[in-house]
Amino acid sequence: AQSVTQLGSHVSVSEGALVLLRCNYSSSVPPYLFWYVQYPNQGLQLLLKYTTGATLVKGINGFEAEFKKSETSFHLTKPSAHMSDAAEYFCAVSTAGGTSYGKLTFGQGTILTVHP
Amino acid sequence: EPEVTQTPSHQVTQMGQEVILRCVPISNHLYFYWYRQILGQKVEFLVSFYNNEISEKSEIFDDQFSVERPDGSNFTLKIRSTKLEDSAMYFCASTSQGLSGANVLTFGAGSRLTVL
């Protein structure tokens, strides 16, 4: 069984400040890890993913995340927040292989607010 | 950029009525999924569909739910007799392959179902 915990349902930062959204996962097999972003009235858009290989993953819009197996974490960061980053962010886990690849287990989401 | 299209964007229905939510996945995709998000809760996997049959379903996906791909382009979710607790945002997703970690789910913008 898999699970995802996102610490903090709401995170508020100032424009230009560091963004850190926390995600911890539980998986009995090597996980695939994802961050999705949802802007108002839009679908879930993939920010970045970790499957295998390099543990520091770079995504779109300047975001990156680091897979830390020892800490079972996959925190999302961005050095400098923009107003346009305001959205809801979802961490998700899946396991490799077969159609279960598309069976994502999501965290509860973190709403990011960016203040001028 | 190819996208997954969902209709309607919002549907209000009376308890006990049948509802059909429609999705047009990306044209070359082969694996299809429905997820839902009850307000304030996590995005949850409902069902995956490949080669014209259900490949996996969750406990939520009981006999009241059904999916089909009636014409090679649309992918529908039917709820036979809606309950109040079916009120949620329903997301359709698709991917070209389920076997490779390089592939990701593309989500639609969602259909909000309100059951009165």
The string of DSSP letters for A4-58 reads EEEE-SEEEEETTS-EEEEEEEE-SSPEEEEEEEE-TTS-EEEEEEE-SS-SEEE
Contacts of B101 in chain A (CB under 8 A): 32, 51-52, 96, 101
Asked if pLDDT for residue B99 goes beyond 50, the answer is no
Cα separation, B57 vs B44, whole angstroms:
11
Cα separation, B81 vs A42, whole angstroms:
27
User: Do A101 and B108 count as a contact with CB atoms less than 8 A apart?
Assistant: no
Look at phi and psi of residue B96 and say left if phi exceeds 0, alpha if psi is from -120 to 50, else beta: alpha
- Band of residue B71 on the pLDDT scale cut at 50, 70, 90: confident
Cα separation, B89 vs B9, whole angstroms:
9
Nearest by CB to B56, from A96, A99, A107: name it. Answer: A99
Asked if pLDDT for residue B105 goes beyond 90, the answer is no
Taking the CA atoms of A88, A33, B92 and B59 in sequence, report the sign of the dihedral they define.
Answer: negative
Q: Which pLDDT score, from 0 to 100, does residue B1 have?
A: 73
Convert the pLDDT of each residue in B30-50 to its tens digit: 889 999 999 888 899 999 998
Interchain contact B20–A (C-beta under 8 A): no
Q: What is the DSSP letter of A30?
A: P
In A, what residues contact B, Cβ < 8 A? 32, 34, 36, 41-46, 49, 51-52, 90, 92, 96-109
Chain A: residue nearest B49 by CA? A99
Nearest by CB to B109, from A34, A42, A51: name it. Answer: A42
Stretch (H or E) spanning A16: none
- Band of residue B85 on the pLDDT scale cut at 50, 70, 90: very high
Neighbours of B62 (CB within 10 A): 9
> Is residue B37 helix, strand or coil?
strand
Nearest by CB to B55, from A52, A90, A99: name it. Answer: A99
Tokens at A1, concatenated: 């069984």
Asked if pLDDT for residue A57 goes beyond 60, the answer is yes
Q: Count Cα neighbours of B105 within 13 Å in the Cβ-side half-sphere.
A: 31
Cα separation, A57 vs A51, whole angstroms:
10
In single-letter form, the type of residue at position B101 comes to G
Contacts of A36 in chain B (CB under 8 A): 107
Q: Which pLDDT score, from 0 to 100, does residue A1 have?
A: 75
